[in-house]
Amino acid sequence: MSGRVEVKPEAEFDEGDHEIIEANGRSIGVIRYGGEFYALSNTCLHDCGPVCTGRVHEKMTGEHEEPGQPLNWYHDEDEVVISCPWHGWTYDVESGKHIGDDSIQLPTYDVIVKDGMVYVETDLLDR
Ligand code: FES
């Protein structure tokens, strides 16, 4: 199968929504966060949990202001991540890469918004 899979109208896709669709026997999560759409495999690479039903948030990053001092933590607005609800594995929503080991990567898919409808590009599923 190739082509686009319809998700739902953009107007019904609220900020923070997670929509789970089935395409070619695969479960895919479509997420709207910060006005952007992302689509990833919904099958966590740890133990097959429903990763796309987890919490989406900005990655926490820590930096030392001075050697020997505690880390100064902040939210990194440039890196949005999703945490699997089962055991917390966390992935970058854009690349699908695990935040602690970039050799672990969830498949990601293109999201297209056309004429007010949100689609996932399924041509990529046939790779
Ligand atoms: S199944 Fe996702 S973290 Fe374990």
Element (H, E) at 61: strand 55-64
Which residues lie closer than 8 Å to 21 by C-beta, 6 or more apart? 5, 7, 27, 28, 30, 120
**Predicted confidence band at 122 (pLDDT cuts at 50, 70, 90)?**
confident
Q: Mean pLDDT over residues 64-83, rounded?
A: 84
Question: For residue 37, which amino acid is it?
Answer: F
Q: Which atom of ligand 1 is nearest to the CA of 48?
A: 1
Cα(54) to centroid of ligand 1, in Å? 10
How much is the pLDDT for 2? Answer: 58
Q: What is the pTM of this model?
A: 0.86
pLDDT at 120 over 50: yes
Query: Rounded to the nearest 10 degrees, how much is the dihedral formed by the CA atoms of 15, 18, 22, 26?
Result: 120
Which of the residue ranges 61-75, 76-90, 92-106 would you say has the lowest mean pLDDT?
61-75
**Predicted confidence band at 123 (pLDDT cuts at 50, 70, 90)?**
low
Phi, then psi, of 123 in degrees rounded to 5:
-55, -35
Rg value, the chain, Cα: 16
**Contact predicate 61/101, CB 8 Å:** no
**Contact predicate 122/1, CB 8 Å:** yes
Phi, then psi, of 53 in degrees rounded to 5:
-90, 0
Which of the residue ranges 35-44, 65-74, 114-123 would you say has the lowest mean pLDDT?
65-74
Domains and CATH numbers, the chain: 4-126 (2.102.10.10)
Cα(43) to centroid of ligand 1, in Å? 9
Query: Model confidence over 34-50: pLDDT tens digits?
Result: 999 999 999 999 999 99
Q: State whether residue 124 is helix, strand or coil.
A: helix
How much is the pLDDT for 53? Answer: 97
Instruction: Tell me which residues have their CB closer than 6 angstroms to ligand 1.
Output: 44, 46-47, 49, 51, 84, 86-89
